[in-house]
Chain A
């Protein structure tokens, strides 16, 4: 028997220490998600307790915080400390140039305009240097009237812009059968959640008394604001503009009872779409729906408004920037995909907290029918994107929860319930497959919206991404992987179609895939494809080719995800995995021991995850430590050594 290596014990000790450290940080994030009592409380309560002090699991851009500050003129719900907290977050994100940046790192007109307005609204002097710089940026980019639909909506509500400068939306669309191309049920759920209150606000029209933002508009020499173009350049755009004007003209004519019937249906939809947690489909639709409810005549004590505000409050939390925590308006309540991933880490580490969190996940399962079933032939099941929601299933969250449930110890007392939930989730996943073989995230057909083809400036927000988005590749690969783990093999035509679709995407868009997508593809192909399968071979080659000289794959989360993908593809950790593991361990080792968990997480960095609607990307601050813990635990399980 060979003598043990002299260096083995110390390196194993380092690996164990790194796993312990990353797992402890993950456990801290799990506490932030307030699993257990906080989330297990009845969602329908109308609590008005102060904002939670927990850290957000997904951090969006400043847009939502700005809108919350603006809308508070109407709701008077924020405590002074909360107003200051949100303003502090907005200030902290401002660049020295005065701009707020878009996801690609360039100055963003809409965010800059909203940031300026929100800071003015919270008491900053418009002539202060940072706001003057911001205003200059807005002017350089064409004025606030060229901002997103959200900015223009606020400008219209504030009375700075005529409502006629916003796209028109005939209320009669809501009378169309749901199969009709122009029916609102054919747009993505987020877009539906925005366009429904938008219609009511524009019909009213709504008026909110907020600080003046007139100085953000570019004006003619006579002082009149320049009319923004509603449509894209070209003949199609011109025709649509003419159509828009015609509709606005027709609005002046008497339309009999049809309009009333249509508006009544819109109002019914709005009221019916409020979810169990009090909100609509995420924060932005909730905010607009609450304003629309006020326009419809609901007073501040109306339970629907109280529940909605409570939801907004629960979606608020802390986020760290430059080492300091700030209060931020989140995009949703705790995202179940991230929560499930945190639980998965605990289960991998045999931490009893993991098993203890399972009842929470099981309780979050969707058990009632919803709009998502219009074109999805499946009974109720699966999980929504956020805790407490009950009307919209989310394929991404469903896959993450399935992954956690499959890691549950086989002798666990929750197995019986978990199995039933998994069974229902499988039916949902199978039914979410699109005709092209890929999988939808929220509703079938969400990425191929007919109305999104209109040459309208904001038309793209009506669809949830494009059919070829890497995010859709990621969701499809995750869905196929979970189905495979539950017994569905490539001999099933649905799985075969899914693999074929992935293969098409891989051959066309490979260069655009980030590490997360590649890793998900690796996990999927390792589960479904034999080693000689071209998809598996291509993905493996690409994944291995992304490793850098120092052993990393880029950011720590990318390294951790790539490690997980590689370990799925190989029976034992290879030298590349070993180098990646060494890199992660070194990162964790080098962090000072006294570093707080939040600071450690910040040091390891997070990840960009898919957002919703106008907030297309969000930060996932727990991603680095979470995925590192999972990757290193798996590495140790597979007998990997540093």
Chain B
């Protein structure tokens, strides 16, 4: 059986009236969730509706880098081979360049014990397109493109039991289900309709450029280059038939954009390109000057993890919390959400037909798990972004300290990378890494790198900045550690789950 595909020109096909699960958003998290749930139902008696408002994929560029933990999930779900065939590139880790002529560190995935040695990177549109193609093959999944949600259907006790959808040419239908999954990204419509409070904040913008055969010391790695206003990321996204690599370059801009329109190209050339190493700088300058039309841009959003579940509703991926993409962990988190939900679905694979496939206790367990890894990821992303930006004395001290720490040996690099790539979640590791970074920050602040006799007050200012930042983060560390050790049975405030 082939799943129906609805497009804007195809209005005759519409979703059925009832499904077991409705997934809003057929991006990476949505497709992975649909596939994972379908695989969790070997008998094929469940029905899953997957809808997305964009035929094809979202026009905006989005996540493209997946850590080994996420790559493993993609492999388990059967996406990996298709993605590789579509040009996805295996990536070996991250490199961080302090500044164009500064220290250079490689943080390989291969040094993290007990996990895949490579992650995966792919062009976002290609990624979504390929995943949708794979999902379409699943008999339990109905994929509808060009449809969007305009309301949630609620029953007794405010429980969500379906969605009202708008199709191409304004066609409206109501579809019922035991569970609605919101996988519609950081600006989630589902989250809004469910009335889940959020503290979403646009912290900046990311400009995306594409570059062919970037001249990098580590071509199949995610390369982070510091020194400009914000960190610059360069990573491969496509390996074409000739073996050439196409790279994504992301440039981080402040929230109050200093330049818009045609001035933006000049701004990028003046404020980012000088801080990049040669010959990459020339390549990026050429890419900027030869670019026609507006640049691909996406807002950078900080969304502290909102309540991820309601009766009959679960949020996954960016809809359930997102942060700065510097740690490239957004998609891995979305895939982990999908995996986690599938785990719960597998537990209840034999649930009778009159009961919900994923009941309230399943959602409670999902939330408990989700609330363990998402705050950790957010705390790390926020801290790393602040440090890599280097906008204050403390951040610069921690930045120097990180390079010192990473230079101290492979164990240090492996432990940091395990945290950053979502492979490590133990609270004691998080705490020990935090304390080591703070110690190195104080030590490195006391030693000047160039000045023969840096005045004592300058050194003390650096130390005080480092200590201030470290103490500011204490609350965050405590919050993350609590999220790790919190008993699953402890009820959450303000929500029934």
Q: Give residues in A with beta carbon < 8 Å to B.
A: 177-179, 185, 373-379, 406, 410-411, 415-416, 419-420, 422-424, 426-427, 431, 435, 444-445, 485-489, 491-493
Tell whether, in the assembled complex, residue A375 and residue B454 are in contact, meaning their CB atoms are under 8 Å apart: yes
Interface string of B5-43 (1 = CB under 8 A from A): 000000000000000000000000000000000000000
Interface check B347, CB cutoff 8 A: no
B449's contact among A178, A377, A415, by CB below 8 Å, is which? A377
Task: Give the Cβ gap from B347 to chain A, nearest Cβ, in Å.
Answer: 48
Task: Give the Cβ gap from A26 to chain B, nearest Cβ, in Å.
Answer: 24
With a cutoff of 8 Å between Cβ atoms, the chain B residues found around residue A419 in the complex are 273-274, 276, 278, 281, 285
B281's contact among A185, A416, A445, by CB below 8 Å, is which? A416
Tell whether, in the assembled complex, residue B99 and residue A416 are in contact, meaning their CB atoms are under 8 Å apart: no
With a cutoff of 8 Å between Cβ atoms, the chain A residues found around residue B100 in the complex are 420, 423
The 5 closest A-B pairs by CB, nearest first: A487-B271, A487-B229, A377-B451, A419-B274, A493-B392
Q: List 28 A-B contacts (CB under 8 A).
A: A185-B453, A374-B451, A374-B453, A375-B458, A377-B450, A377-B451, A406-B270, A410-B266, A410-B269, A416-B279, A419-B281, A420-B274, A420-B278, A423-B99, A423-B101, A423-B275, A431-B450, A431-B451, A435-B455, A435-B461, A444-B455, A445-B455, A486-B271, A486-B274, A487-B270, A487-B275, A488-B229, A489-B258
With a cutoff of 8 Å between Cβ atoms, the chain A residues found around residue B228 in the complex are 487
Interface string of B379-394 (1 = CB under 8 A from A): 0000000000001110
- When C-beta atoms are compared, the residue in chain B nearest to A491 turns out to be B391
Task: Give the Cβ gap from A524 to chain B, nearest Cβ, in Å.
Answer: 15
- When C-beta atoms are compared, the residue in chain A nearest to B461 turns out to be A435
Tell whether, in the assembled complex, residue B278 and residue A492 are in contact, meaning their CB atoms are under 8 Å apart: no
Interface check B146, CB cutoff 8 A: no
Tell whether, in the assembled complex, residue A416 and residue B450 are in contact, meaning their CB atoms are under 8 Å apart: no
Cα separation A513 to B450 with both chains bound (whole Å): 35
With a cutoff of 8 Å between Cβ atoms, the chain B residues found around residue A376 in the complex are 450-451
Cα separation A130 to B273 with both chains bound (whole Å): 62
Task: Give the Cβ gap from B400 to chain A, nearest Cβ, in Å.
Answer: 11
Tell whether, in the assembled complex, residue A375 and residue B274 are in contact, meaning their CB atoms are under 8 Å apart: no
Tell whether, in the assembled complex, residue A493 and residue B391 are in contact, meaning their CB atoms are under 8 Å apart: yes
For window 281-335 of chain B, which residues contact chain A by CB distance below 8 Å?
A: 281-282, 285, 289
Cα separation A492 to B394 with both chains bound (whole Å): 12
Cα separation A419 to B461 with both chains bound (whole Å): 30
Tell whether, in the assembled complex, residue A416 and residue B393 are in contact, meaning their CB atoms are under 8 Å apart: no
Tell whether, in the assembled complex, residue A373 and residue B452 are in contact, meaning their CB atoms are under 8 Å apart: yes
Tell whether, in the assembled complex, residue B451 and residue A179 are in contact, meaning their CB atoms are under 8 Å apart: no
With a cutoff of 8 Å between Cβ atoms, the chain A residues found around residue B272 in the complex are 487
Tell whether, in the assembled complex, residue A491 and residue B227 are in contact, meaning their CB atoms are under 8 Å apart: no
Tell whether, in the assembled complex, residue A379 and residue B454 are in contact, meaning their CB atoms are under 8 Å apart: no
Cα separation A379 to B103 with both chains bound (whole Å): 13
With a cutoff of 8 Å between Cβ atoms, the chain B residues found around residue A374 in the complex are 451-453
Tell whether, in the assembled complex, residue A178 and residue B278 are in contact, meaning their CB atoms are under 8 Å apart: no
Cα separation A422 to B229 with both chains bound (whole Å): 14
Tell whether, in the assembled complex, residue A375 and residue B450 are in contact, meaning their CB atoms are under 8 Å apart: no
Task: Give the Cβ gap from B291 to chain A, nearest Cβ, in Å.
Answer: 12
With a cutoff of 8 Å between Cβ atoms, the chain B residues found around residue A411 in the complex are 289
Interface check B254, CB cutoff 8 A: yes
Tell whether, in the assembled complex, residue A489 and residue B273 are in contact, meaning their CB atoms are under 8 Å apart: no
Interface check B457, CB cutoff 8 A: yes
Tell whether, in the assembled complex, residue A416 and residue B391 are in contact, meaning their CB atoms are under 8 Å apart: no
Cα separation A489 to B389 with both chains bound (whole Å): 12
Tell whether, in the assembled complex, residue A491 and residue B254 are in contact, meaning their CB atoms are under 8 Å apart: yes
With a cutoff of 8 Å between Cβ atoms, the chain B residues found around residue A422 in the complex are 274
Task: Give the Cβ gap from A541 to chain B, nearest Cβ, in Å.
Answer: 24
Cα separation A5 to B272 with both chains bound (whole Å): 44
With a cutoff of 8 Å between Cβ atoms, the chain B residues found around residue A378 in the complex are 450-451
With a cutoff of 8 Å between Cβ atoms, the chain B residues found around residue A410 in the complex are 266, 269, 285, 289
Interface check B216, CB cutoff 8 A: no
- When C-beta atoms are compared, the residue in chain B nearest to A381 turns out to be B101
For window 245-273 of chain B, which residues contact chain A by CB distance below 8 Å?
A: 254, 258, 266, 269-273
Tell whether, in the assembled complex, residue A373 and residue B270 are in contact, meaning their CB atoms are under 8 Å apart: no
A489's contact among B229, B281, B285, B461, by CB below 8 Å, is which? B229
Interface check B448, CB cutoff 8 A: yes
Report the contact-size class of chain B (Cβ under 8 Å from the partner): 35 or more
Task: Give the Cβ gap from B1 to chain A, nearest Cβ, in Å.
Answer: 55
With a cutoff of 8 Å between Cβ atoms, the chain A residues found around residue B254 in the complex are 489, 491
Task: Give the Cβ gap from A298 to chain B, nearest Cβ, in Å.
Answer: 29
Assuming A374-B453, A493-B392, is B282 touching A416 (CB within 8 A)? yes
Tell whether, in the assembled complex, residue A179 and residue B455 are in contact, meaning their CB atoms are under 8 Å apart: yes
Tell whether, in the assembled complex, residue A377 and residue B458 are in contact, meaning their CB atoms are under 8 Å apart: yes
For window 419-467 of chain B, which residues contact chain A by CB distance below 8 Å?
A: 448-455, 457-458, 461
Cα separation A413 to B393 with both chains bound (whole Å): 37
With a cutoff of 8 Å between Cβ atoms, the chain A residues found around residue B450 in the complex are 373, 376-379, 431
Tell whether, in the assembled complex, residue A179 and residue B281 are in contact, meaning their CB atoms are under 8 Å apart: no
- When C-beta atoms are compared, the residue in chain A nearest to B288 turns out to be A410
Tell whether, in the assembled complex, residue A423 and residue B451 are in contact, meaning their CB atoms are under 8 Å apart: no
With a cutoff of 8 Å between Cβ atoms, the chain A residues found around residue B393 in the complex are 493
With a cutoff of 8 Å between Cβ atoms, the chain B residues found around residue A373 in the complex are 450-452
Tell whether, in the assembled complex, residue B391 and residue A492 are in contact, meaning their CB atoms are under 8 Å apart: yes
Task: Give the Cβ gap from A4 to chain B, nearest Cβ, in Å.
Answer: 27
Cα separation A612 to B274 with both chains bound (whole Å): 32
With a cutoff of 8 Å between Cβ atoms, the chain A residues found around residue B458 in the complex are 375, 377, 435
- When C-beta atoms are compared, the residue in chain A nearest to B281 turns out to be A419
- When C-beta atoms are compared, the residue in chain A nearest to B391 turns out to be A492
Task: Give the Cβ gap from A137 to chain B, nearest Cβ, in Å.
Answer: 45
- When C-beta atoms are compared, the residue in chain B nearest to A178 turns out to be B453
Task: Give the Cβ gap from B467 to chain A, nearest Cβ, in Å.
Answer: 15
With a cutoff of 8 Å between Cβ atoms, the chain A residues found around residue B101 in the complex are 379, 423-424
With a cutoff of 8 Å between Cβ atoms, the chain A residues found around residue B275 in the complex are 423, 426, 487
Cα separation A406 to B274 with both chains bound (whole Å): 10
Task: Give the Cβ gap from B289 to chain A, nearest Cβ, in Å.
Answer: 6
A416's contact among B269, B278, B454, by CB below 8 Å, is which? B278
- When C-beta atoms are compared, the residue in chain A nearest to B452 turns out to be A374
Cα separation A481 to B433 with both chains bound (whole Å): 38
- When C-beta atoms are compared, the residue in chain B nearest to A405 turns out to be B274
Tell whether, in the assembled complex, residue A423 and residue B227 are in contact, meaning their CB atoms are under 8 Å apart: yes
With a cutoff of 8 Å between Cβ atoms, the chain B residues found around residue A185 in the complex are 453
With a cutoff of 8 Å between Cβ atoms, the chain B residues found around residue A485 in the complex are 270-271
| Known pairs A185-B453, A422-B274, A489-B229 / 17 extra A-B pairs, C-beta < 8 Å | A179-B455, A373-B450, A374-B451, A375-B451, A410-B289, A415-B285, A419-B274, A419-B285, A426-B275, A431-B450, A435-B457, A486-B271, A489-B254, A489-B258, A491-B254, A492-B391, A492-B392
B448's contact among A177, A377, A445, A487, by CB below 8 Å, is which? A377
Task: Give the Cβ gap from A109 to chain B, nearest Cβ, in Å.
Answer: 38
Tell whether, in the assembled complex, residue A375 and residue B455 are in contact, meaning their CB atoms are under 8 Å apart: yes
Task: Give the Cβ gap from A12 to chain B, nearest Cβ, in Å.
Answer: 25
Task: Give the Cβ gap from A436 to chain B, nearest Cβ, in Å.
Answer: 11
- When C-beta atoms are compared, the residue in chain A nearest to B228 turns out to be A487
Cα separation A185 to B452 with both chains bound (whole Å): 12
Tell whether, in the assembled complex, residue B270 and residue A178 are in contact, meaning their CB atoms are under 8 Å apart: no
With a cutoff of 8 Å between Cβ atoms, the chain A residues found around residue B274 in the complex are 419-420, 422-423, 426, 486
Task: Give the Cβ gap from A422 to chain B, nearest Cβ, in Å.
Answer: 5
Tell whether, in the assembled complex, residue A377 and residue B454 are in contact, meaning their CB atoms are under 8 Å apart: yes
Cα separation A396 to B399 with both chains bound (whole Å): 30
Cα separation A487 to B101 with both chains bound (whole Å): 18
With a cutoff of 8 Å between Cβ atoms, the chain B residues found around residue A489 in the complex are 229, 254, 258
Tell whether, in the assembled complex, residue B457 and residue A375 are in contact, meaning their CB atoms are under 8 Å apart: no
With a cutoff of 8 Å between Cβ atoms, the chain B residues found around residue A406 in the complex are 270
With a cutoff of 8 Å between Cβ atoms, the chain B residues found around residue A444 in the complex are 455
Cα separation A423 to B99 with both chains bound (whole Å): 9
With a cutoff of 8 Å between Cβ atoms, the chain A residues found around residue B453 in the complex are 177-179, 185, 374-375
With a cutoff of 8 Å between Cβ atoms, the chain A residues found around residue B282 in the complex are 415-416
With a cutoff of 8 Å between Cβ atoms, the chain A residues found around residue B273 in the complex are 419
Tell whether, in the assembled complex, residue B270 and residue A486 are in contact, meaning their CB atoms are under 8 Å apart: yes
Cα separation A123 to B269 with both chains bound (whole Å): 61
Cα separation A396 to B227 with both chains bound (whole Å): 23
- When C-beta atoms are compared, the residue in chain A nearest to B285 turns out to be A415
Task: Give the Cβ gap from A200 to chain B, nearest Cβ, in Å.
Answer: 24
Cα separation A377 to B462 with both chains bound (whole Å): 12
Cα separation A377 to B227 with both chains bound (whole Å): 16
